[in-house]
Amino acid sequence: MKAVFFDVFGTLVDWRSGVARESRRILEPRGISLDWHAFAQAWRDQYQPALEQVRSGRQAFVKLGQLHRRNVGPVLARFGVSDLPEEVLSELVRAWHRLDGWPDAAPGLQMLAKSFLIAPVSNGEIALMVDLARLNGFPWDAILGAEIAQDYKPKPRVYLAACEAFNLPPEECLMADAHSSDLAAAARCGLRTAHIARPNEAGPGRGESKPTVPVDIVAQSVEDLARQLAR
């Protein structure tokens, strides 16, 4: 094993609290009040249908930020909010660049970086990954993932492009993720897999506390993964 790849949204950073907090910070001064966590969830729920447009080939690859921008208006409308100026909508999209890592994420990555190459293999674009890394101290060797593959997980190309970028065969790469379905896709590409428990990803008790598919490593946190790999 030479490299460890990471999913980011949900696995390393808490998108639900972060998007709720940032949306409130941006919209409340404009007199808008809504269920901020429900808004974060509703926006996130548009994620997979938007990615599927690209994965299916119905539209050319665009960065996740552009998909977030396209989705935010319709989601706000469902919460009774409309007619926001363009700069406010852009600022809302920037909420995804300001998400806090789970407490174990940065320390665990620092430990892993001593023995392995590490990179995000996220559906988020390079600029977004760079901002999250700066904010949270994620010591990546490179930013891999959807943008360099020009497609979205769980399409095989995304996992394979990451291995190829490091000049490594898939069996020397480990994909760490809090989402079993994505780990299944990585395993089908020949990568090793580690499940990271995030039982509260989408709210209390609404996340995977354990994998629902066979994986190579079951970890309770990124630090736990680092400890298991150090044995």
Per rule CB under 8 A, is residue 35 in the interface with a second copy?
Answer: no
Helix or strand or coil: residue 125?
A: coil
Per rule CB under 8 A, is residue 151 in the interface with a second copy?
Answer: no
**Amino acid at residue number 129:** M
Per rule CB under 8 A, is residue 160 in the interface with a second copy?
Answer: no
Per rule CB under 8 A, is residue 148 in the interface with a second copy?
Answer: yes
H-assigned helices in 46-170: 47-55, 64-78, 86-93, 105-113, 126-136, 146-149, 156-165
Kindly tell me which residue out of 25, 78, 134, 210 binds a second copy, with binding defined by CB under 8 A: 134
Of 15-23, 127-135, 207-215, 219-227, the segment contacting a second copy by CB under 8 A is 127-135
Per rule CB under 8 A, is residue 12 in the interface with a second copy?
Answer: no
Of 68-76, 79-87, 123-131, 180-188, the segment contacting a second copy by CB under 8 A is 123-131
33: Cβ–Cβ under 8 A, 6 or more apart, which residues?
Answer: none
Residue appearing with tokens 């590409």? 189
Residue whose CB is less far from a second copy, 84 or 113: 113
Residue whose CB is less far from a second copy, 144 or 194: 144
For the bound state, the minimum distance from the C-beta of residue 206 to a second copy, rounded and expressed in Å, comes to 31
- In 3D space, the residue among 224, 229, 15, 209 whose CA is nearest the CA of residue 108 turns out to be 224
**Amino acid at residue number 61:** F
- The 3-state DSSP composition of the chain as helix, strand, coil percent (nearest 5) reads 50, 10, 35
Per rule CB under 8 A, is residue 86 in the interface with a second copy?
Answer: no
For the bound state, the minimum distance from the C-beta of residue 136 to a second copy, rounded and expressed in Å, comes to 13
How far is it, in rounded angstroms, from Cα 211 to Cα 181?
9
How far is it, in rounded angstroms, from Cα 25 to Cα 15?
15
Binding residues vs a second copy (CB under 8 A): 65, 117, 125-127, 129-130, 133-134, 140-144, 147-148, 165-167
